[in-house]
Structure formats: structure tokens, C-alpha cells
Structure 1
Amino acid sequence: MSTMTGLLEGKVALITGAARGQGRSHALKMAEQGASILALDVCRRVSTAVYDPATPEDLAETHSLVEKAGGKIVTGEIDVRDLGALTEFVRSGAAELGGLDIVVANAGVNVWGGLLDAGDEDPWDDTIGINLTGVYNTLRAAAPLMIKNGQGGSIIITSSATGLKALPGMIAYAASKYGVTGLMKAAAIELGQHEIRVNSVHPWAVNTPMGGMHPFGESILGANPSFVDSFKQVLHDPPLAEASDISDAVLFLASPLARTITGVALPVDQGNTIV
């Protein structure tokens, strides 16, 4: 019978986008529950997103915090669009830490821009490349190792409330996150024969550099009042989720507590997708 202490004892977890925000929170939560961590982040600007990107210093801080929590950790500055570099990092890191049991495909960008807003700096290619192709590459790099280990495992993909209910003003982001939801369901069917569970989490607004409202987003909503209804939520305390709220859901899906759950798109969204 599982307990809430040491749920991931002896497991190895790969987490992308781990330098800060949700990725760092997931790494710490899993390390506290006994997992060793493979943590990667690109640590430079790779899109037209208006918020500052994570830095090498952020990733180093994640490394330090995981070690302080008593966990083993291997880090790397990797772009999830680079399948070769990603595959080599996962292979070598898994060999160093003793396997691979859990994958959290979390790396992503949030770029505001509607269908009619695209100009010379159209965010489409970067957003789809990082948010969707990057998740596909992560699964391609990790799943063969998990199958070879023969112990099953759990894959959790970070989608978004926007992957269940399209939001105006961020059309590339919505397309990428809907794509991630479909990828999750197809992968759950394909990998189930290997006892690998695949699920996704769908946050709403989260208190991270990426997750809050930005001036360009506010200007889009101001110019298009009909868009505002799409951004309502049922729960307002707190008005923004914390990264740890999402980590609790990720931990559940990674753990034996969710051993019969696969192919599920789990909203962690303060009720945004039901209004």
C-alpha cells in the first residue's frame, strides 16, 4: 500500500524546462519523494515571448536546490527541438543515474498573438517547434529507454487549459497545446503494451515568469472585448495557481497512486475549462 512519503523512491525522472517555474518545482517535489532527476533547459532566448528566458544560473540553482533536498541530479542546457542532443543527454544521464522511470515533458513557451497579429516576427514556427515537436522529441528520446528497462513507467506532458479550450489572442499556443493533447492520447495507446502510462496536465494561469498576463496580452484583450469571456475561471482564491499546485498533480500521475490512470487530460485550471 502506497504512502505519501517516498512515493518515488529509487526512481529516475527526466524533466524538461527545469531551470525555473513549474519545471523546477516538479524537480524539487520529485526529489523530496526519493527520485533522482535528469533536468534540462535551453537557458537562452528561443522565441519572441516578451518575458525573460531562463538562464544558466537558473538551471544551476535548480541543481543546487535538488541536492539540498537530498536528491541526485544531472543537468544540461539542451534545446528540445534538437533531437540528437536531447537523445544523447537522456541516454548518458539515465546511464549515470541508473535508468529512467518518469518523464515530465514540460518545456514550452507562451507567445501572445492572434491570427491577424502575425507580422515579420510570426511566433508560429517557434511555438509549434518547442511546445509540440519538442514534446514529440522528448518522448522519442525517452520511451525506448523505458521500454528497454522493462519496468513500465509514467510520462506526464504539460499541456494547458488552452489545450482543452481554445483561447483567442494566442493562436499558435492554442494549436500547440491541442496538438500535445492528441499526442498524449496516441502515445498512451501505443505505450500501454509496455506498461508505460501517458497523461497530461492542463494548468490555467500560474505564478511563474511564463504564466502570468503580459502587457501585449492585455493590449489584445483591451482591443478585443469579446475575447475576455474566454479568460474567466470558477475559483478565485488564489487568483493564480502556484507552481507547486501543478507539481502536486504531476507527482500524483507519476506515482503508484495513479497506477491505473492513462490517457487522461487532467485540468488543474481553477475551473477555466468549464466556463
Structure 2
Amino acid sequence: MTVSVPPAPLPNAPIARRYEDRVVFITGAARGQGRAEAVRFAAEGADIIALDICEDLPSTDYPGATPEDLAETARLVEKHGRRIRTHKVDVRDFPALRAALEESTAELGRLDVVVANAGMTTARRTWEIDLEAWNTTLDINLTGAFHTVKAAIPLMLEQATGGAIVFTSSVAGLKGLPMLGDYVAAKHGVTGLAKTLANELAEHRIRVNSVHPHGVNTKLVPGIRNLLDAHPEVSSFYQATLPDEVSEPEDIAAAIAWIASDEARHITGIQLPVDLGRTNR
């Protein structure tokens, strides 16, 4: 007998103000997880630097974010009375990313938290991935994350007040999920990059961790559902333990806000699954 379990409601407890007058830099911030993170940090008192490509990508089967999406993120942040600087920039373009971050950091006065969130995915058998799709997936998910921290870390070191870096990895950064070979390779790379940086930056009290969602209710979900419909033989690899089908972006934002906060000041170099129990299977 199949039992229908309603999704758990999002928590509605009062939100702490852990980021008063701090500045948080988020990539992929126009919608989805990035927007939820921007809004969560703003609700906790932070000013935001938000960056997104705001374009369709030729290798994906879902629409990209738009400038209007990024403007909506800004509106939601400003509802909390916080400042935000937005930039339409591709994380693959290191000079543009660095210029945007340096300009906004100068305007807002500091940089405390970096969330390397920008990402994309496609779905097909590994040997069927065309070269353009492979390169795009690695360039955005892995090289883009590297560009993000390469631009941010010198600013944080010069500021000399510590801080936190959080990489959005994935269950695919811990498990060999089928049909996602390029994404798995990129997210495993992100996981390893976070581990190395945690060791390199510890003496500066800059903590580095990765967060690993499973399914999240964003524009990427229809593509994964189509994958499972077309390839039911791999569906067992995508099953979670908790009865909710997917997490909400706010679930991931809450975890990131915690692990980047002073409450987690002795946590660095870990891989935090926020995955409905998937990695426990």
C-alpha cells in the first residue's frame, strides 16, 4: 500500500540577525537557490552582491534566468531594508567577475561571506555528451566556482577579519549519479576545491565548506524528471529517504546561512548534505 505523505512545511520561526552589516557575495543569484540565499542573508541583516549570467545556455533544456529575475531578487532583498548590488556577468568571464566584485565591495565597504552557487546541468549518458556540453558544464560549475573564489579571497585576506566561503556542490559531488557524468565530474571537483581551500585559508580564519543538495524545487527539476521518465532503470539512484520529493530553495539557504555563521565557527572542510537522506542510502 502506498501512503501519501504531504510535504513538510517550511519552518516559520523568527529568523536570527546573524549578519548585521556584513556583506555576502552570491553567484547565480537571479532565481532558485541563489535568490533564496540572497533573501535569507538579507533577512539576517546582510547587504548583498548578486551576480548572474541572465541568459539561456545552448546546452540546457530549460530556460535561463533573465535580467527581470535578477531585478526581482534585488526587490526582495530591499524589502528587508538591505542594500544590494546586482551584476549581469558570466562566471566564466574572470575579468568581468573580478571587476564587478571589486566595484561592489568598494561601494558596500567589506566582504564577509562568499557563496559560489552558479551552476547548470544536462542529462545524458556519458559517452553521448557532446564536447560543447561537457566544456560548458565544467566551465560554469567548476571553473566558475574557482573564478569566484580567486576574485574574492584576496579581498578577504586584505580585510583580515576572517569570513566564510560556501560552495554549492550536490549529491552528485559525492555519488556517481548516472546520466550526469559531466555534472558529477564538475561537482566532485568543487568538493575537492573546497577541501583544499579549507586547509589553505584556516590560518586566516576563513572557513570553507560545501553544501550538497539532492533535488531542489528549481528550474532544473523538470529536466531530472524527464530523465527519470526516459530512463526508469536509474530511478533508484535518485531516491531519497525522507518522504518529501524535493527540497525547497529556502531549505538550502537556511543551511548555508547557518554554516557560514559564527554559530559554525569551528566547522571547516566538511561536506554538508542537505539531501533528504539520499547519501545515507
TM-score with structure 1 length normalisation?
0.94
Q: Give the secondary structure class of the aligned counterpart of 1:123.
A: helix
Deviations 1:222-252 (A, max 9, x none): 4xx1x2221111111x211100000110000
Cα distance in 2 for partners of 1:27, 1:183 equals 23
Cα distance in 2 for partners of 1:214, 1:156 equals 24
Asked if the contact 2:26–2:114 (Cα under 8 Å) also holds between the matched residues in 1, the reply is yes
Instruction: Confirm whether residue 132 of structure 1 aligns to residue 142 of structure 2.
Output: yes
- Structure-to-structure mapping, 1:139-218, within 5 angstroms: 139-214=149-224, 216-218=226-228
- The aligned counterpart of 1:107 is 118
Cα distance in 2 for partners of 1:261, 1:148 equals 22
After superposition, the Cα gap between the structure-2 partners of 1:215 and 1:201, relative to the gap in structure 1 and judged at 3 Å, is closer
Letter in 1 for 2:267: I
RMSD between superposed Cα atoms in Å: 1.5
Asked if the contact 1:169–1:220 (Cα under 8 Å) also holds between the matched residues in 2, the reply is no
Amino-acid identity (%): 46
User: Which ranges of structure 2 fall in alignment gaps of 5 or more residues?
Assistant: 1-13
- The aligned counterpart of 1:52 is 63
Cα distance in 1 for partners of 2:163, 2:265 equals 9
1:107, distance to aligned residue in structure 2 (A): 0.2
- The aligned counterpart of 1:76 is 87
Cα distance in 2 for partners of 1:158, 1:47 equals 22
Instruction: Confirm whether residue 241 of structure 1 aligns to residue 252 of structure 2.
Output: no
Asked if the contact 2:170–2:213 (Cα under 8 Å) also holds between the matched residues in 1, the reply is yes
Q: Give the secondary structure class of the aligned counterpart of 1:116.
A: helix
Cα distance in 1 for partners of 2:15, 2:266 equals 17
User: Which ranges of structure 1 fall in alignment gaps of 5 or more residues?
Assistant: none
Instruction: Confirm whether residue 12 of structure 1 aligns to residue 23 of structure 2.
Output: yes
Letter in 2 for 1:128: L
Deviations 1:173-224 (A, max 9, x none): 00000000000000111111111000010000011112444465135424xx
Letter in 1 for 2:147: N
Q: Give the secondary structure class of the aligned counterpart of 2:126.
A: coil
Q: Give the secondary structure class of the aligned counterpart of 1:266.
A: strand
Deviations 1:5-35 (A, max 9, x none): 2101111000000000000000000000000
Aligned residues: 268
Cα distance in 1 for partners of 2:50, 2:129 equals 33
Cα distance in 2 for partners of 1:204, 1:114 equals 20
Q: Give the secondary structure class of the aligned counterpart of 1:185.
A: helix
Asked if the contact 1:47–1:127 (Cα under 8 Å) also holds between the matched residues in 2, the reply is no
Asked if the contact 1:113–1:172 (Cα under 8 Å) also holds between the matched residues in 2, the reply is no
After superposition, the Cα gap between the structure-2 partners of 1:215 and 1:202, relative to the gap in structure 1 and judged at 3 Å, is closer
Asked if the contact 1:206–1:212 (Cα under 8 Å) also holds between the matched residues in 2, the reply is no
Cα distance in 2 for partners of 1:4, 1:21 equals 20
1:143, distance to aligned residue in structure 2 (A): 0.4
Letter in 1 for 2:128: D
1:75, distance to aligned residue in structure 2 (A): 0.2
- The aligned counterpart of 2:38 is 27
Deviations 1:40-85 (A, max 9, x none): 0000023411111000000000011100111110000010011100
Q: In structure 2, which of residues 72, 82, 93 is the aligned counterpart of residue 61 of structure 1?
A: 72
Cα distance in 1 for partners of 2:260, 2:107 equals 21
Q: Which segment drifts farther, 255-264 or 209-218? A: 209-218
After superposition, the Cα gap between the structure-2 partners of 1:100 and 1:228, relative to the gap in structure 1 and judged at 3 Å, is same
Segments of 4+ in structure 1 off by > 3 A?
211-216
